[in-house]
Amino acid sequence: MTMIVVTSARDLILGGVDATLDAWRLARDNGRGAHVEAFDLLALLGHLERFRKDRDVAGALERIRAVAQADRDRLAKAAFAGIDPDGWLEDARWLEGQLDQEDPEAPDRLVSAARTLFRQLDDAELVLTSARALGAFVPTGLSEGVASCVSFLETELELFLDAVPVARSFREQFVPGLDAHDPDLWGTTLKHELLANLLEQPRASVAPSAAARPRRKPNRLLEPALAAAPAAPGTGLVAHFRWKAADGSWRAQLDVPRRPSKDAAVLLTLRFLLADGTAASQLDGSTVRLCGLELDVEKAQATVPLGLLRPAWESWAKDRPDLRVRAPNGDFVVGDLSEPDTAK
């Protein structure tokens, strides 16, 4: 039995290899359509080809390749039946509609939807890439359909902000130099690069500039790389960041709307509250450090211009802002992050 702690993309992919092979064999041998299993198997092949090759990955790759070569045509035919670009586009537009609402229902489900759509698109690209690499015929219409989904993602990148951790976790596994030895496979990594760069400074990576890939229209988010904006009606979902003092005596909150804004002069407010929701005025006169920026607390609040926070946050290169409070000994101490960075 495979018992695995799932904390990374690598765990997720490697942990499912044997079960996917078994499921494909059962479905294939029983003459069922098997599109789910075929899709997963070819996507797995693509994931493993794209990963750095340690012993586990190399072993899994060998097992998958053997089956994929032997069942190539049946696999490709069944897997292609499991790809629905029109369905993906319709659901991506549905997600856009939900995020445009001022107070969407169940934002946690929208986080899940964004991640699912990103993963599905990645898998579909990998299915096509694997099929081509195996020498199977890939219908042009299907390739174009998936390409149109990729274009949508690239032009509406902010819809997929919640998939940034997904993109990063997969990107960490990519084999260096992929662009040189497998341009087709490398092409599947560009969307990870785009998303991963949303909240951090560009860095040397396996994929060259994502701008190398033609887009239908300029990406709205790449300009203000931090998807932060002043709170204004109709600007969409708000990311709530929360911290709690180590002794639980107070908490802090910073609300950041996710829609981008170019208005860098707008002030964001960091609020300090007691457990009962009243102002934590005992912090007045204290100094706090938010992503390295020192701010003074007055009336249980500290304000920071968006134009200052954005570059500070980017150089912090984390998806959560860091908040520290000056302790009596002069050191800045970190609070406990008490809630996830998604809207509730």
Partner 1 sequence: MPLELRDLPHPHADATVTVFGDWIAAARHVCDHVLTSPESEGWELLLAPLRSVNFQDRSSRFKLAHAGWRRSEGEALQEAYDAYAREVTSAIGRATEHGWYWCESLEDREWGVRHFFGPNGVLVVLGLRSVITAMLPGMGDPRTVHAHMGTVDSPETRRHNPLPREERRAGFGMRRAPELDEPQLAGSLNSWHARYLLFRKCAGVVREAALGSFWSVGDESEQRLHVAIARYEDWLRMQGVDPATVER
C-alpha distances in Å from residue 48, one per residue of 14, 16, 33, 59, 185: 8, 12, 24, 10, 11
For residues 35 and 271, which CB has a smaller minimum distance to partner 1 in the complex? Answer: 35
d(CA 274, CA 296): 18
Q: Is 236 in the site for partner 1 (CB under 8 A)?
A: no
* Neighbouring C-beta atoms of residue 156, cutoff 10 Å: 18
Beta carbon of residue 141, minimum distance to partner 1 (angstroms, whole number): 15
Of the candidate residues 106, 212, 267, 317, the single one contacting partner 1 (CB under 8 A): 106
Q: Is 113 in the site for partner 1 (CB under 8 A)?
A: yes
Residue 119 burial by CB count (10 A; 0-12/13-18/19+): exposed, middle or buried?
A: middle
Q: Is 81 in the site for partner 1 (CB under 8 A)?
A: yes
Beta carbon of residue 40, minimum distance to partner 1 (angstroms, whole number): 7
Stretch that binds partner 1, among 88-96, 135-143, 192-200, 252-260 (CB under 8 A): 88-96
Residue 194: partners with Cβ closer than 8 Å, 6 or more residues away: 154, 157, 167, 210, 219, 222
Q: Is 5 in the site for partner 1 (CB under 8 A)?
A: yes
C-alpha dihedral sign at 255, 198, 226, 161: negative
Of the candidate residues 201, 249, 303, 338, the single one contacting partner 1 (CB under 8 A): 338
Q: Using an 8 Å Cβ cutoff, are 146 and 124 in contact?
A: yes
Q: Is 241 in the site for partner 1 (CB under 8 A)?
A: no
Beta carbon of residue 337, minimum distance to partner 1 (angstroms, whole number): 5
Amino acid present at 54 = D
Size of the site for partner 1 (CB under 8 A): 67
Of the candidate residues 49, 123, 154, 156, the single one contacting partner 1 (CB under 8 A): 123
Beta carbon of residue 85, minimum distance to partner 1 (angstroms, whole number): 7
d(CA 274, CA 259): 29
d(CA 152, CA 50): 23
Token pair recorded at residue 193: 């690069």
Token pair recorded at residue 182: 């497998």
Q: Is 141 in the site for partner 1 (CB under 8 A)?
A: no
d(CA 26, CA 271): 57
Q: Is 311 in the site for partner 1 (CB under 8 A)?
A: no
Would you give the binding string for partner 1 spanning residues 145-184, x where CB under 8 A is met?
----x---------------xx--x---------------
Which residues sit at the interface with partner 1, rule CB under 8 A? Answer: 1-9, 11-12, 15-16, 18-20, 22-23, 26-27, 29-30, 32-33, 35-37, 39-40, 81-88, 91-92, 94, 98, 105-106, 109-113, 115-117, 119-121, 123-124, 149, 165-166, 169, 336-342
